[in-house]
């Protein structure tokens, strides 16, 4: 029997596991940032009755800044109707793994009733 075969097998699996975790974290990061940005917009929309448009915009800009979102994420549209508020934005984010890079388009679209 060959010596060190089990160690080599374990090393291969460890390398594959680390490579898979790295790839998943790189690909998942833009989606996670979008989820957090969307959640912040949803919260701002829910509290729109007690917040001004400029206060909501500043809070969402701060969120976009802390998440490191692209500049297009700062171009928010906040529209108040007679009984609803609507917050929207669109931007492209990127994920990259060695040898491959892809743009992903995100559209923020939140609305809530004005109570």
Owner of token pair 């892809």: 102
pLDDT value, residue 83? 93
Once rounded to an integer, what is the mean pLDDT over residues 96-106?
A: 90
Mean pLDDT of the chain, nearest integer: 91
User: Tell me: the pLDDT tens digits for 29-58?
Assistant: 999 999 999 999 999 999 999 999 999 999
Once rounded to an integer, what is the mean pLDDT over residues 88-99?
A: 92
- Looking only at the bridges linking them, the beta strands covering 100-113 and 77-80 are unpaired
DSSP 37-69: HHHHHHHHHHTTTSS-HHHHHHHHHHHHHHHT-
CB 108 within 8 A of CB 89: yes
């Amino acid at each position: 029997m060959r010596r060190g075969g089990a160690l080599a097998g374990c090393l291969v699996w460890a390398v594959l596991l680390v490579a898979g975790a790295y790839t998943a974290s790189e690909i998942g990061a833009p989606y996670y940032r979008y989820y957090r940005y969307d959640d912040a917009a949803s919260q701002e929309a829910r509290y729109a009755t007690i917040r001004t448009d400029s206060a909501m915009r500043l809070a969402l800009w701060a969120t976009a800044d802390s998440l490191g979102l692209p500049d297009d994420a700062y171009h928010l549209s906040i529209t108040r109707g007679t009984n609803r508020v609507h917050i929207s934005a669109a931007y492209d984010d990127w994920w990259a793994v060695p040898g491959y890079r892809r743009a992903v388009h995100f559209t923020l679209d939140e609305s809530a009733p004005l109570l």
